[in-house]
Amino acid sequence: MIYVCDDKDNKGEKRFNVFQRWYQKSNFTDFIMKVDNVIVCNSNDTDYTLYSSLLYHQDNTNKETILELYQTIQDILNEK
């Protein structure tokens, strides 16, 4: 699962931090992995920051591919 914290009201980073605290305090950290990716993308000559995280099960047989693709999101969004 990928989630993105909306930053239109300049509170995206705060939401991102709240989700991090929820995850750290959860009972899922032994088998659900969380990877963060703060993405900066440009649209119409304006930079936007997207606070995102990927959650996946540690036993997912496709985790290497999923992680690789997740790390390319910024490049894909900024392709012209």
The residue whose two tokens read 């750290």 is 24
For the segment 66-76, the average pLDDT, to the nearest whole number, is: 90
- Cα 47 to Cα 49: distance, rounded to the nearest angstrom: 7
- Cα 53 to Cα 16: distance, rounded to the nearest angstrom: 8
Indicate the helix (H) or strand (E) that contains 24.
helix 12-25
pLDDT tens sequence across 6-50: 888 999 999 999 999 999 999 999 999 999 999 888 888 888 889
Q: Tokens for 54, please give them.
A: 């990927």
Q: Residue 46: what pLDDT?
A: 86
- Cα 39 to Cα 12: distance, rounded to the nearest angstrom: 12
Q: Residue 75: what pLDDT?
A: 86
